[in-house]
Amino acid sequence: MPKARESDLPIADELQRQSDRGAAILAVAYLEHQLDLALAARFVIDVHTKDSFRKVFKHTGPAGAFGIKAEVAFLLGLCAYEMKNDLLLLSEIRNDFAHISRAVDFGSPEMRDKCAGLTSLDGAVADGSLDGPDARRKFMAAIAQAAERFGVPANADAMSDRQS
């Protein structure tokens, strides 16, 4: 498998312009959208079930949290156990960036340690001690790999219509 890179993402230009905080939040939002599409592809969604799917998977629904969606994706066989754990860690990192009021970036020891814990990357970034740029690179590589795993199938427009 080729190494996943931030530049592989359709929103790569936007991510590169963002601060660490902005990039982390935007990248996981993009990944969550990809995950939503992958989940929608696995459920029966038609005129009768569309509303139920929306109620369950909307942000305030019982399966609306990114972590719950990661667990459901794992249960449906959409990702391996290691990737599920990485998804949960990506969500935790995103939440830290979104909710910590003090300045935080990928260079902080806390973020470097969390990014070092990402495991499903097939060597996209060397393991071991990460500095800020390596931590961000590993985070973005994990996003790119997961997004590729949940990639939008050919009928993505139909699925997007199902969710809206």
CATH number at residue 48: 1.20.120.330
Q: Do 58 and 93 meet the contact criterion of CB atoms below 8 Å apart?
A: no
In a domain, 154, yes or no: yes
Asked if residue 73 is part of any domain, the answer here is: yes
Helix 20-42 / helix 156-163 crossing angle, nearest 10 deg: 100
Asked if pLDDT for residue 156 goes beyond 60, the answer is no
* Cβ within 8 Å of residue 136, ≥6 positions away: 20, 23, 106, 115
Q: Is residue 77 situated within a structural domain?
A: yes
- Amino acid identity for residue 60 in this structure: T
Classify residue 27: in a domain, yes or no: yes
The more confident residue out of 16 and 162 is: 16
Give me the number of domains the chain comprises. Answer: 1
pLDDT at 98 over 50: yes
Q: What span, in angstroms and rounded, lies between the C-alpha atoms of 67 and 127?
A: 24
- Read off the pLDDT of each residue in 28-55 and give the average, rounded to a whole number: 91
In a domain, 104, yes or no: yes
Residue of 100, 130, 102 whose CA lies nearest to 116: 130
Query: pTM of whole model > 0.85?
Result: no
User: 3 lies in a domain?
Assistant: no
Domain assignment present for 2: no
**Contact between 16 and 5 (Cβ < 8 Å):** no
Q: Would you say residue 1 lies in a domain? A: no
Q: Which two tokens stand for residue 116?
A: 């070092």
